[in-house]
């Protein structure tokens, strides 16, 4: 552990941010999986993909995933939707 007060604070703040980012990433993965399952089932697939794309955009805007990663995931979702549709 650091000795300087500001360094101690940074450690605590970083731990909080890491926890929030981890939960957001996990939720993002869950939404993408739900969209995949909806496309396989053929029910409510457009709404599920729309929600997944929205969540991917939000994660990219917050800096949780990179812009290119977001574009790649959105492209994969759109491609699957077009093949399923």
Give tens-digit pLDDT for 7-37.
999 999 999 999 999 999 999 999 999 999 9
Q: Is the dihedral of CA 42, 48, 52, 53 positive or negative?
A: positive
Q: Which of 47, 44, 22, 48 is nearest to 34 (CA)?
A: 48
Q: What percent of the chain has pLDDT over 70?
A: 99
Give tens-digit pLDDT for 39-72.
998 888 999 999 999 999 999 999 999 999 999 9
Structural domains of the chain sorted by starting position, each given as residue range(s) with its CATH number in brackets: 15-84 (1.20.58.110)
**pLDDT value for 85:** 66
Residue 38 pLDDT more than 80? yes
pLDDT band at 2 (very low <50, low <70, confident <90, very high): confident
Q: What percent of the chain has pLDDT over 90?
A: 87
Q: Which two tokens stand for residue 45?
A: 């697939």
């Amino acid at each position: 552990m650091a000795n300087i007060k500001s360094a101690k604070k940074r450690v605590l703040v970083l731990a909080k941010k890491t926890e929030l980012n981890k939960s957001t990433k996990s939720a993002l993965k869950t939404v993408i999986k739900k969209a995949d399952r909806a496309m396989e089932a053929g029910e409510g697939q457009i709404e599920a993909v729309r929600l997944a794309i929205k969540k991917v955009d939000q994660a990219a805007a917050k800096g949780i995933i990179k812009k290119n990663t977001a574009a790649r995931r959105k492209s994969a979702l759109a491609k699957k939707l077009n093949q399923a549709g």
